[in-house]
């Protein structure tokens, strides 16, 4: 990693116009890493712009610098101009150009700028001149911090950029609970708090943002719609478009609901079916020797990680659930 770190530092020193990009459907790690790097490069008096494929979700609007993100969806001309004039492009929290969406991907691929990847996802594609790709890292923010440390510039991290890094680590680790969290992760967090980061405000800003409708929808889903299958440790919830409307559904309102189902004692696989625009979106979560990506892949046109996958069905909500109940039996590990 040390060699790549130095090379990236040289790229930055030579660059006249830097663009920071990240993947579609921004999350805490993509926004956090992009804006942390943005604040640092500003300190180095670099010309730097952040260009993302689509706008940040409202629960991340508080992040310092968020309003300066140029998103390709609503500020296309500005975004195109920024990418075309860049001589250095950072690709943060993704490792394949397709992750930025068709239109932005074409621009990215055509650009003759040097490209730098900092990422922690599996199977990186070969499209960057300098790469930090560590699939065991808990987040891109952790790798970004390590880069800054490697090039001996930790003194430039302050409360603002530190909060961005804290955000990415917190959201990508389910608040520091996943196996990807190491002692090094906690050392980084301790250092960030030492630099003035108010960790409790970040937790509040991200997690204490429920609307009354959202809480009621989740209450309804869990009290009225939870189904635990007989004799097997699998539970699911299905929600129709009508039910969502009743609670004035907003994008993100069912976020994390599937994890709550997985949190039931003894449950090894949790599934959430949500009817949207005539299709059914499916979220799978699991633990132990239950691997949901195989099921998602075999029957629901999906895939993902072993313990967290997604799928889609063009059949009705009822039919989809019925199909799931039938096929899931083939994916129960033999004792």
Task: State which of residues 29, 71, 243, 253 lies at the interface with Mn ion (CB under 5 A).
Answer: 29
Binding segment toward Mn ion, per CB under 5 A, in 27-35, 103-111, 188-196, 218-226? 27-35
d(CA 42, CA 44): 5
Binding segment toward Mn ion, per CB under 5 A, in 69-77, 89-97, 248-256, 261-269? 89-97
Nearer to Mn ion, 5 or 140 (CB): 140
Q: What secondary structure does DSSP assign to 40-57, as a single string?
A: HHHHTT--EEEEESSPPP
Q: Closest separation between CB of residue 206 and Mn ion, Å?
A: 15
d(CA 181, CA 220): 33
CB 158 within 8 Å of CB 196 = yes
Q: Closest separation between CB of residue 178 and Mn ion, Å?
A: 11
Binding segment toward Mn ion, per CB under 5 A, in 2-10, 51-59, 165-173, 209-217? 165-173
Task: State which of residues 93, 243, 253, 275 lies at the interface with Mn ion (CB under 5 A).
Answer: 93
Q: Closest separation between CB of residue 23 and Mn ion, Å?
A: 9
Angle between helices 159-172 and 140-150 (to 10 degrees): 140
Q: Does 172 bind Mn ion (CB under 5 A)?
A: yes
Token duo for residue 284: 């799978």
Nearer to Mn ion, 163 or 217 (CB): 163
Nearer to Mn ion, 171 or 286 (CB): 171
Question: How many residues line the site for Mn ion (CB under 5 A)?
Answer: 5
Nearer to Mn ion, 143 or 292 (CB): 143
Nearest Cα neighbor of 26 from 1, 50, 2 is 50
Please state whether beta strands 48-52 and 18-22 pair in parallel, antiparallel, or not at all (unpaired). Answer: parallel
Q: Closest separation between CB of residue 280 and Mn ion, Å?
A: 27
Residue 47, number of CB atoms within 10 A of its CB: 14
Q: Does 71 bind Mn ion (CB under 5 A)?
A: no
Q: Which residues contact 209 (CB under 8 A, 6 or more apart)?
A: 58, 59
Binding residues for Mn ion, rule: CB under 5 A, are: 29, 93, 139-140, 172
């Amino acid at each position: 990693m040390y060699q790549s770190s130095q090379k990236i530092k040289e790229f930055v020193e030579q660059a006249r116009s830097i663009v920071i990009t990240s993947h579609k459907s921004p999350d805490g790690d993509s926004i956090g890493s992009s804006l942390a790097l943005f604040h640092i490069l500003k300190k180095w008096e670099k010309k730097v712009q952040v260009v993302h494929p689509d706008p940040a979700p409202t629960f991340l609007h508080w992040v310092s610098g968020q309003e300066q993100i140029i998103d390709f969806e609503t500020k296309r001309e500005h975004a195109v101009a920024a990418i075309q004039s860049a001589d250095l492009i950072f690709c943060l929290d993704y490792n394949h150009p397709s992750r930025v969406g068709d239109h932005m991907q074409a621009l990215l691929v055509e650009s003759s700028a040097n490209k730098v990847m900092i990422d922690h996802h599996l199977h990186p594609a070969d499209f960057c001149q300098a790469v930090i790709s560590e699939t065991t890292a808990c987040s891109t923010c952790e790798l970004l911090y390590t880069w800054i440390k490697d090039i001996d510039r930790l003194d430039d991290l302050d409360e603002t950029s530190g909060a961005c890094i804290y955000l990415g680590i917190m959201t990508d680790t389910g608040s520091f609970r996943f196996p990807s969290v190491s002692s090094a992760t906690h050392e980084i967090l301790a250092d960030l708090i030492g630099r003035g980061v108010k960790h409790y405000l970040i937790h509040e800003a991200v997690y204490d943002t429920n609307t009354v409708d959202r809480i009621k929808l989740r209450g309804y889903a869990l009290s009225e719609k939870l189904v635990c299958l007989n004799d097997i440790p699998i539970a699911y919830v299905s929600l129709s478009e009508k039910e969502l409307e009743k609670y004035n559904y907003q994008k993100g309102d069912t976020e994390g609901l599937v994890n709550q189902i997985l949190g039931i004692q003894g449950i090894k696989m949790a599934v959430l079916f949500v009817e949207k625009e005539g299709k059914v979106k499916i979220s799978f979560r699991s633990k132990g020797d239950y691997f949901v990506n195989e099921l998602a892949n075999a029957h629901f046109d999906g895939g993902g990680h072993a313990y967290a996958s997604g799928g889609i069905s063009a059949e009705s909500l009822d039919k989809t659930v019925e199909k799931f109940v039938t096929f899931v039996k083939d994916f129960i590990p033999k004792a």
